[in-house]
Amino acid sequence: MSNSTAAPTWYGGIRDMFTQTDIDHMSPHGILLNDYDSVKSNAPGIYGQLAAGNMPPKHPWPKSQVQTFLDWMTNNYPKGTPSKESSRLKMMATASATRVRKDVSSLSSGEIATLKKAFSGVMKLKTNDPNGYFIQAGYHGLPNAYCMHHIPGYNPWHRAYLYSFENALRTIPGCEDVTLPYWDLFNDFPDILNQEPFANYTLPEDLNSNYKKGYVTQRNSVKTMESLFKQYDVLTDFTRAKTQQDWEDYHGGQAFGGAPNDTSISAHDGGHVATGPTMADQNVAAFDPIFWFYHCNIDRMFWEWQKSMHATDINGLLSTITTTESRNIFTIPVLESLPPFTNNTPHLNTVKIVDSIANLDVDYDPPAKETKEIAMAAFTTKRRGSVAASEKFHVDTDIANVRVKGINRIKIPGSFSVHLLKDGEKIASKAFFQPSEVDKCPNCVENPIVHVDFKLPLKEVKSGKLETWIEPLNHAPFGDRFPHKMMDNPTINVRLLLRNE
């Protein structure tokens, strides 16, 4: 595969040296050649077999490639960044799809008319029609609660969900080629989303005692929405996610190896809560038509991240994963399921959704306008709270991470905000998205303890009296401050951050 390089890195070429045959050959022996930690821990033995010409069987590496692997070991196994010469990059460049999803603000008048016809069509279908809006929206929260949040299946599940809904739109006569557009959060709010049939949806049947027949989805004004997006650092967190190189750090949160919760999922939560009362409640979020445009953009950003990390095939994606829990959903068949989309149409699982172009025939056009710049500290280098004692590291003295740790979210009725105050004034806020009846959500009950993170300039937190305030969106019956003791007394952890590259 690649020739010897002066400073080889995992993402820069080492992972690409192992073919599928190599991976399949060593996997039964417990050595995962598409896993950084496995290759690192087994590197001396791997090198020994490579240098002796025993591996790969019958197709030994050339000496230059063996030397590259040794150089990587000698340099302390750096992760680095993806190579511009990667074979995966070349394959990605030649791939194409016929379903190309566009920025909603770039649609032509004809495309808008077709999209409106498709949405109106599925909204008019009977409530028991599997392609109808009521059934499709109900997969996310009430009445089915299939959705996955704050767990490794989060992005895979939502990619399958978007595909299912797009297929439903295509069942409407005259809309067979329609694609679901995305709402680019980094630019001005597209007015089309306030037009019918995208402005709201009226429930044709009861969902529960809170959401009865006739309920009309509710949304914040554009001004309020934009203000809350800023308050919750939504765009900053999405921007930070794009710079991360490991799957866990891209997603963020407790279920991803205790990663900082200030990247993609944190941004997702903040955007839901900022958009309005319906989008803020996991039970009914998908009934607001804006949900589809919002999540289509999140899937676009996930796909862009995959492409930037050369992770658009299963081995490429696995090479970015650092925890067993995340790896398992792509390698253990019983855990690959994405209900209801695996056993039913469109028959997708976690593995099939990885390559959006090859398996779904879906790709994305770039945003219609240049992305607005986000004022934030540089996060192009991975910063962590701890590193292995064997590693060399730098201490960043300009940024502190304040973590509110050990929040038992099951005790809080619905989505909530976590505020960080200094001398009584709010200096930062995050949102956490969940259903109003948390104890009835299987994923929530299985993952009850969560944390939020605030990365702030040290000067903003090093003087003055700090405190936290957890505010439920539903102020009844405790008011706007939820008692800390009722959520198992979460703690505060403040760290300077480290980097090892």
**Percent share of the chain, pLDDT over 70:** 93
When pLDDT is cut at 50, 70 and 90, the band that residue 90 belongs to is low
Residue 321 CB coordination number (10 Å): 25
Distance CA 158, CA 120 (A): 22
- pLDDT at residue 389, as a whole number: 73
Q: Coil, strand or helix: which one is 31? A: coil
pLDDT digits (tens, 9 = 90+) for 141-154: 999 989 999 999 99
Is 358's pLDDT higher than 50? yes
Structure tokens at 323: 């925890």
Is 187's pLDDT higher than 60? yes
- pLDDT at residue 397, as a whole number: 85
In sequence order, the β-bridge partners of residue 404 are 452, 492
341 vs 36, 130, 350, CA distance in Å?
31, 12, 10
Sign of CA dihedral 279, 282, 288, 291: positive
- pLDDT at residue 24, as a whole number: 92
- pLDDT at residue 498, as a whole number: 82
Residue 399 CB coordination number (10 Å): 18
Q: Which CATH superfamily is domain 99-213+281-364 in?
A: Di-copper center containing domain from catechol oxidase (1.10.1280.10)
Higher pLDDT pick, 379 / 394: 394
- pLDDT at residue 372, as a whole number: 66
Please identify which residue in the block is written with the tokens 């959401």: 211
Is 379's pLDDT higher than 70? no
Distance CA 102, CA 98 (A): 12
- pLDDT at residue 373, as a whole number: 61
Query: Is 446 within 8 Å of 439 (Cβ atoms)?
Result: no
Could you please state the CATH topology (level 3) that the domain comprising 394-499 is classified under: Immunoglobulin-like (2.60.40)
Structure tokens at 387: 């590193």
Structure tokens at 500: 């090892």
Query: Is 161 within 8 Å of 341 (Cβ atoms)?
Result: yes
Pairing, β 491-499 against β 394-408: antiparallel
Biggest CA pair distance of the chain: 73
Q: Same topology for domains 99-213+281-364 and 394-499, yes or no?
A: no
pLDDT digits (tens, 9 = 90+) for 255-294: 999 999 999 999 999 999 999 999 999 999 999 999 999 9
Q: Coil, strand or helix: which one is 263? A: coil
Distance CA 164, CA 127 (A): 16
In sequence order, the β-bridge partners of residue 464 are none
At residue 188, what are phi and psi to the nearest 5 degrees? -60, 145
Is 229's pLDDT higher than 70? yes
- pLDDT at residue 378, as a whole number: 43
Distance CA 219, CA 238 (A): 22
pLDDT digits (tens, 9 = 90+) for 401-454: 999 999 999 999 999 999 999 999 999 999 999 999 898 888 899 999 999 999
Cis ω before 366 (30° cut-off from 0): no
Listed in sequence order, the residues at least 6 apart from 272 whose beta carbon sits closer than 8 Å to its beta carbon are 279, 280, 282, 285, 294, 415, 431, 433
Q: Coil, strand or helix: which one is 342? A: coil
First to last CA, the chain: 26
Q: Mean per-residue pLDDT for 179-191?
A: 97
Query: Is 142 within 8 Å of 129 (Cβ atoms)?
Result: no
pLDDT digits (tens, 9 = 90+) for 476-490: 888 899 999 999 999
pLDDT digits (tens, 9 = 90+) for 38-65: 999 999 999 999 999 988 888 899 999 9
Is 2's pLDDT higher than 60? no
Please identify which residue in the block is written with the tokens 């959704």: 353
Distance CA 81, CA 350 (A): 25
- pLDDT at residue 374, as a whole number: 66
Is 336's pLDDT higher than 90? yes
- pLDDT at residue 184, as a whole number: 97
Distance CA 446, CA 384 (A): 26
When pLDDT is cut at 50, 70 and 90, the band that residue 95 belongs to is confident
At residue 420, what are phi and psi to the nearest 5 degrees? -110, 125
Q: Mean per-residue pLDDT for 112-127?
A: 98
- pLDDT at residue 3, as a whole number: 42
Q: At CA 287, angle to CA 285 and CA 289, rounded to 5?
A: 100
Q: Could you tell me the residue ranges of all domains in the chain?
A: 10-85, 99-213+281-364, 394-499
Sign of CA dihedral 115, 117, 121, 124: positive
Cis ω before 173 (30° cut-off from 0): no
466 vs 35, 54, 145, 469, 486, CA distance in Å?
41, 60, 38, 10, 21
Q: Which ranges of 382-461 would DSSP assign to H, the alpha helix?
A: 442-446, 458-461
DSSP 210-233: SS-TT-B-----HHHHHHHHHHTT
- pLDDT at residue 501, as a whole number: 64
Is 82's pLDDT higher than 60? yes
CA atoms within 13 A on the CB side of 180: 26
When pLDDT is cut at 50, 70 and 90, the band that residue 375 belongs to is low
Is 497's pLDDT higher than 80? yes
When pLDDT is cut at 50, 70 and 90, the band that residue 462 belongs to is confident
